[in-house]
Every structure is written in C-alpha cells, then in structure tokens.
Amino acid sequence: MSALGREAGRVAAVAWKDLTAERRTKANFNSVVFLATLTLLLFGFALGPDAEALRAAAAGIVWLTVLFSGVLTFNRSYQLELEGGAFETLLLYPGERRSIFIGKVVANLAFVLLVEAIVVPLAAVLFGLPLLGPFPGLAGVLLLGTIGFVTLGTFYAAMASRMRAREVLLPLLLFPMLVPVLLASVQSTKLVLDGDPMGNFTNWIAMLLLFDLIFFIAAVWAFDHVIED
C-alpha cells in the first residue's frame, strides 16, 4: 500500500473511532442539537415577531446557532481521551501525527454537518425560508463554511481541552479567527436564499475556499508543534 493510502487509513481509523464513541452514547449529539434548537427559538423571540425581519436575519441566525452550539463539540473530541489517558497511547502509534488531527477534523465535520442537517430545515420552518430550490448552493456553502469552522475548532481545542479554563478559552481563541468564515458564510447563504443580482456569490465562495485551504495547511503544520508532549 502506498504511503498516502496508509495515511488515509490512519485518518479513517481515528475518525471512525471518534464517531463510534459518539454513536454509542449520543450524549453530546443530543445536547448539541437541543441547544441549537433552543438557540433558534431564542433568536426568534429576541428579533421577532415580525416575520419579515426574522426572514431577513435568518442567514445570520443559522450561522450563529451553528457556531454557538458546534463549539461545544471540539473540546470533547479530546477530553474523552485525555480523561481516559488514551491520548498518549494514540500518540505512540506509528505514523505521522497529523493523521490524528485530520481524523478528528473529519469526525467533527461529520458531527457538525449532522447537526446542521437538523438545524437548517428547522430554521427553514421557523423563519419561512425556501429549502428545496436553493438546496445545492446551500449545501455547498454549509460544507465550505463548516470545514473552516471545524478545522480551526479542532486545532484550538487541542490546546484548550488541556486547560482548566477550557470552556471560556476555546471561544475566546476561536471566534475572533472565524470572522472571515462568518461573513463569507452568512453573505453567501443570503445570496443563495435571496438571489444574487450583482454576481457576488463566487467572490464569497472563493474567500471560503481560500480560508479553508490556508488554515487547513497552517493547522496541520502547527498541530505537530502543539501536541509534542
């Protein structure tokens, strides 16, 4: 088997392990989905009841809901192993350590996309958004925005999860970094939902792609230095 194939195998093994642990308990998934639902309702109460205003704000509401609820998953992705003393063992396995990081990114990506698969239709119902028409564009935007979010979330959680103040520190480190992702995702979601007379959609998608690429490479490179011990 080629070196790349072996690495892909390691990535898949780490991702599968994380997803299996989650699938068997569902503790995290249930609470994150519940929090997301609650957040959508709270935004509705805070900004409603004017249906037009809610609809106009819907793209921003959906993305903030994803960020606020999704951020809860990243620390947990390391904490289970740290508490069980399994992380050291994981590091001892042969092969590049970046496979651990990429595997965790894949698992977290699957997790957050699943949460979105519930949150977005729910938001469509609550705020009166069209869902079927713009589906391909919407799915693409959600995927690209979530990749950037999850890459940095998984990276910063590698540090934050090992600290006492982890619940505060992770959003403090992560959210300022996500400003370009938030802007690009919300704007392109709006353009998908409301139409794009000025042809700005491709610019925002290009920005998401650029962000994802730069920070994926940077995070994979920096991860080696972060988990050295």
Partner 1 sequence: MAIASTEPAARSATRRRFAWLNWVGGIGFAAFLASQIFGIATSPPEIGMGHLQKIMYVHLPVVWNGFIAIFIVLVMSTVYLFTRREKHDLLAASAAEIGTVLIGLTLVVGSIWAKPTWGVWWTWDPRLTSTAVLFVIFVGYLALRAFTEDIDRRARWSAAVGILGALNVPIVYMSVRWWRTIHQVQSSPSTVDPSYVLSLRANAIAFLILLIYFIGRRYQAAVLERERERLAEEAALR
Binding site for partner 1 (CB under 8 A): 152, 155-156, 159, 163-165, 169, 172-173, 175-177, 179-180, 183-184, 187, 198, 200, 203-204, 207, 210-211, 214-215, 218-219, 222, 225-226, 228-229
Q: Shortest gap between Cβ of 45 and partner 1 (angstroms)?
A: 25
Nearer to partner 1, 132 or 179 (CB): 179
Residue 190 and residue 144 in contact, taking contact as beta carbons nearer than 8 Å: no
What's the token pair of residue 225? Answer: 């230095």
Q: Tell me whether residue 43 or residue 211 sits nearer to partner 1 (CB atom).
A: 211
Least gap, CB of 152 to partner 1 (angstroms): 8
Q: Which is nearer to partner 1, 96 or 196 (CB)?
A: 196
Give φ, ψ of 82 to 5 degrees.
-65, -40
Residue in 182, 200, 183 with CA at minimum distance from that of residue 191: 200
Of 51 and 168, nearer to partner 1 (C-beta) is 168
Provide the 3-class DSSP secondary structure of residue 162. Answer: coil
Closest C-alpha to 33, from 139, 105, 120: 120
Q: Measuring CA to CA, which residue among 49, 27, 63, 211 is closest to residue 142?
A: 63
Nearer to partner 1, 3 or 165 (CB): 165
Least distance (Å) from partner 1 to the CB of residue 187?
7
What does the alpha-carbon distance between residue 124 and residue 135 come to, in Å, rounded to a whole number?
12
Taking the complex as a whole, the smallest distance from the CB of residue 67 to partner 1 amounts, in Å, to 15
Q: Which of 58, 81, 214 shows the shortest CA–CA distance to 128? A: 58
For residue 170, which of 161, 179, 182 has the smallest C-alpha distance?
Answer: 161
Task: Supply the minimum distance, in Å, between the C-beta of residue 98 and partner 1.
Answer: 14
